[in-house]
Amino acid sequence: MSNKKAENLIIGFGKAGKTLANYLGNKGEKTVLVEKSPLMYGGTCINVGCIPSKFLATAADRRGFSGQSDAEYYKNAVLQKKALIAKLNKANYDKVASNENVEVLDGLASFKDEHTVQVTNGSEVSEVYAERIFVNTGARPFIPPVPGLEVGKRIHTSETLMNLEEFPKSLAILGSGFIGLEFAASYAKFGTKVTIIDQGDRILPREDEDVAKEVFASYQGLGVDFLFGAALTQVSQDENAVHLSYTVNGEKKELSV
């Protein structure tokens, strides 16, 4: 076990964490920045949010200008997205790591006491004592407690879906908020048959109803199907598909994608 001491310890290499680390380092304060996953240097927007999703959305908009098959065009778009994100991820790491007063420490942070944090990275364990500790851990996708709904080869979150290189011929999206709708539009334009499942009676429940109606009409134009008032009860899968069992007004139904 190694022991470190710093004036500041920041948990999380997101937008706030990296900005604060450089700010404090530039002031001459010794700072340790802890990040659980090297894939998240720079935070959500760069790695699994704004930039990759907008890159794929733009690629989907340009789908009609390519003579490639749906599968080939989609895979190339994902590979280009991965290359861009890797470049941005490295640039964010280098910008912080080049600060002589900042140390980037990979691993999972846990509090030992109010001034000491233990950082575990595999078999390596470090303890960092800091006068000030800033928590910038962010959030992660919520997985509804539905039997069989487990992230894996065929079941994805908004983060893992963008790394899928195999073109999905069909896709079910749970929820019709803005994130779900963004993915629905992109994949429909890529050529995927998209179905949105929602327990409510319309899309975008936080938006004005007239706005939601206009958006709904545009998505119908893309060929997106909607299942409203649908409560997901169970998920199963085999080698070829994911099977979603749900009820609408008490009636049992199933969708396979």
How far apart CA 133 and CA 34 sit, in angstroms, is 11
Query: By the 8 A CB rule, do 82 and 209 touch?
Result: no
Is the per-residue pLDDT at 2 higher than 90? no
Amino acid symbol at 224: V
97 plus 209 within the same structural domain: no
122 plus 194 within the same structural domain: no
Q: pLDDT tens across 13-43, in order?
A: 999 999 999 999 999 999 999 999 999 999 9
Residue 141 lies in a domain: no
Residue 146 lies in a domain: no
Residue 145 lies in a domain: no
How far apart CA 167 and CA 193 sit, in angstroms, is 11
Residue 119 lies in a domain: yes
Residue 152 lies in a domain: no
Is the per-residue pLDDT at 180 higher than 80? yes
115 plus 187 within the same structural domain: no
Q: Give the pLDDT band of residue 67 (cuts 50, 70, 90).
A: confident
Residue 23: give the domain boundaries.
2-135
175 plus 90 within the same structural domain: no
CATH at 65? 3.50.50.60
